Copies of this chain bind each other. A is one copy, B any other.
Amino acid sequence: MDNFEFYNPTKILFGKGMIAKLDEQLGKQARVLILYGGSSAEKSGTLAEVRKALGNRSFCEFGGIEANPTYETLMKAVDVVRKEKVDFLLAVGGGSVMDGTKFVAAAVPYQGEPWEILLKQGETVKEALPLGTVVTLPATGSEMNNIAVISRKETGDKLAFSSPHVFPVFSVLDPTRTFSLPARQVANGVADSFVHVMEAYMTLPQDAMVQDRYAEGLLLSLHDIAERITKAPSDDYDLRANLMWVATQALNGLIGAGVKQDWATHAIGHELTAKYGIDHARTLAIVFPAMLKERREQKRAKLLQYATRVLGLTEGTEDERIDAAIARVEAFFEGLDIPVRLSAYEIDQTGIDPIIAQLKEHGMTALGEGADITPEISRKVLERSL
């Protein structure tokens, strides 16, 4: 096990009706800005429930944060915060709204041009406004981590930052608030969570029992959820509750503490979203199985461990079990109606060059747990996903 530091101070309020506890989480004098995305937060009744929970408190609202939240939009929220003297940010939405809110929190007191926060990956963030979240889409885990991914329309960049200052103070996770999600977004959330676990797990054996066993527990849960969720009624409380808590645990730092992590799939996936506008989770479904094929030897021991402990595959040679495990990963995504090929998006060989160029431009030239995935290897990965 590697040395590590682990710190996660976010308070979780989990369960039906917990939005009612919002107001007591806030300081008496806090002036709140509610940030949200499109019309679904309004239509689903979540915004109404949030407003009601805030009672007589003074608050204002900022809507219109898009999927893959943009710097351009978020800087408008920064202006509102400054003008209205807001001192607490409340994100109501999924990963995009939560990530966007973290950026706003860091940008408001930032000395200098806030895009620098992304360019320096958060290192220059010295303070941030406090923020809380009300989660409507279980997927990114943003509700219990200090990471955000922000896009810039002007340049087509999609970059991440992290900072201990942008952990949500609290996050409300009410599974009933996910009942009205479109099936596509639920499926994306399952896929996103799955790859978050895999980025921490499918690396090298490091004799880290807790991290491995917990990751395997989350993978077992996600396999189970994936099999049931497309057929289950959308108001299956326990199933939604389990998905919600799995998604949070998949990226709250615990399974990645003290072990090598990968994240090459995410790096390549971000470029696919930036270039072709493919949903984040769907880019992961394209890249991850191809990554396993390309990095089969480097990930051999962990592929076998996954085959045995998660999939229960014990028959056949090692290579047969690895083949079967990779096939099961593809089947996992396809069972969620998520394609695992670039061709599903009408992208062919000629579509790969721009992605490789972007990876180089963003310095993504030594990816993976061994920092040995060069742009040429990323190209091979993408070719395997054609």
Question: Which residues of A come within 8 Å of B, CB atoms?
Answer: 1-18, 207-210, 212-214, 216-218, 220-221, 224-225, 238, 241-242, 245-246, 249, 257-258
B1 and A5 contact, CB distance less than 8 A? no
B1 touches A11 (CB 8 A): no
Contact B242–A207 (Cβ < 8 Å): yes
A218–B224 CB distance below 8 A = no
* Pairwise interchain contact A7-B1, C-beta atoms closer than 8 A: no
Contact pick for A2, options B15, B217, B249, CB 8 Å? B15
A13 CA / B2 CA spacing, docked (Å): 11
List of 6 A-B pairs having minimum Cβ-Cβ separation, nearest first:
A3-B15, A213-B217, A9-B9, A209-B221, A7-B11, A6-B12
Contact A241 B14 (CB under 8 A): no
Which residues of chain B are within 8 angstroms of A217 by Cβ–Cβ distance?
A: 209-210, 212-214, 216-217
Q: A15-B1, A15-B258 are in contact. Are A242 and B7 (CB under 8 A)?
A: no
- Residue in B13, B216, B242, B257 whose CB lies within 8 Å of A5: B13
Bound Cα distance A257, B258 (Å): 24
How many subunits of this chain does the assembly comprise? 2
A218, B211: Cα distance in complex, Å: 10
Known: A216-B217, A217-B217, A241-B1. A246 touches B14 (CB 8 A): no
Which of A209, A246, A249 has most B Cβ within 10 Å? A209
Instruction: Looking at the assembled complex, report how far the CB atom of A295 sits from the nearest CB atom of chain B, in whole angstroms.
Output: 25
A6 to B248, CA, bound (A): 12
Distance in Å from the Cβ of A223 to the closest Cβ of chain B?
11
Q: Are A210 and B242 in contact (CB under 8 A)?
A: yes
Q: Which residues of B contact A6 (CB under 8 A)?
A: 11-12, 14
Contacting pair A7 B3 (CB below 8 A): no
In the complex, chain B residues whose CB is within 8 Å of the CB of A213: 214, 216-218, 220-221
Q: Which one of B3, B7, B16, B18 contacts A16 once the chains associate, using CB atoms below 8 Å? A: B3
Q: Is A17 a contact partner of B3 (Cβ separation < 8 A)?
A: yes
**Which residues of B sit under 8 angstroms from A224, Cβ to Cβ?**
209
> Are A14 and B7 in contact, with the CB atoms below 8 A?
no
Residues in B whose Cβ lies below 8 Å from that of A246: 209-210
Bound CA span A5–B22, Å: 12
Shortest CB-to-CB span from A208 to chain B, Å, is 7
Which chain B residues lie closer than 8 Å to A220 at the CB level? 209, 213
A146 to chain B, nearest CB (A): 13
- Report 26 cross-chain contacts, Cβ distance below 8 Å, ordered by A residue: A1-B241, A2-B15, A3-B16, A4-B12, A4-B14, A5-B12, A5-B13, A6-B12, A7-B9, A7-B12, A8-B9, A9-B9, A12-B257, A208-B245, A209-B217, A209-B225, A209-B245, A210-B217, A210-B218, A210-B246, A213-B214, A213-B220, A213-B221, A214-B214, A216-B217, A217-B217
- Contact across chains for B245 and A1 when beta carbons are under 8 A apart: yes
CB of A218, distance to nearest CB on chain B (Å): 7
Q: Which residues on the B side are within 8 Å of A241 (C-beta)? A: 1
Query: Cα distance A340–B12 when bound, in Å?
Result: 38
Q: In the bound complex, how far is the Cα of B224 from the Cα of A177, in angstroms?
A: 41
Q: Distance in Å from the Cβ of A336 to the closest Cβ of chain B?
A: 17
Q: Bound complex: CA of A238 vs CA of B212, how far in Å? A: 14
Q: How far is the CB of A9 from chain B (nearest CB, A)?
A: 4
Instruction: Establish whether residues A14 and B257, one from each chain, have CB atoms under 8 Å apart when the complex forms.
Output: yes
Q: Roughly how many angstroms separate A166 CA and B210 CA in the complex, as a whole number? A: 25
B210 and A1 contacting across the interface, CB-CB below 8 Å: no
Q: Given contact pairs A1-B242, A6-B14, A15-B258, enumerate 15 new A-B contacts (beta carbons under 8 Å).
A: A1-B245, A2-B15, A4-B14, A4-B15, A5-B11, A8-B9, A9-B9, A14-B258, A208-B242, A209-B246, A210-B217, A210-B221, A213-B220, A213-B221, A245-B258
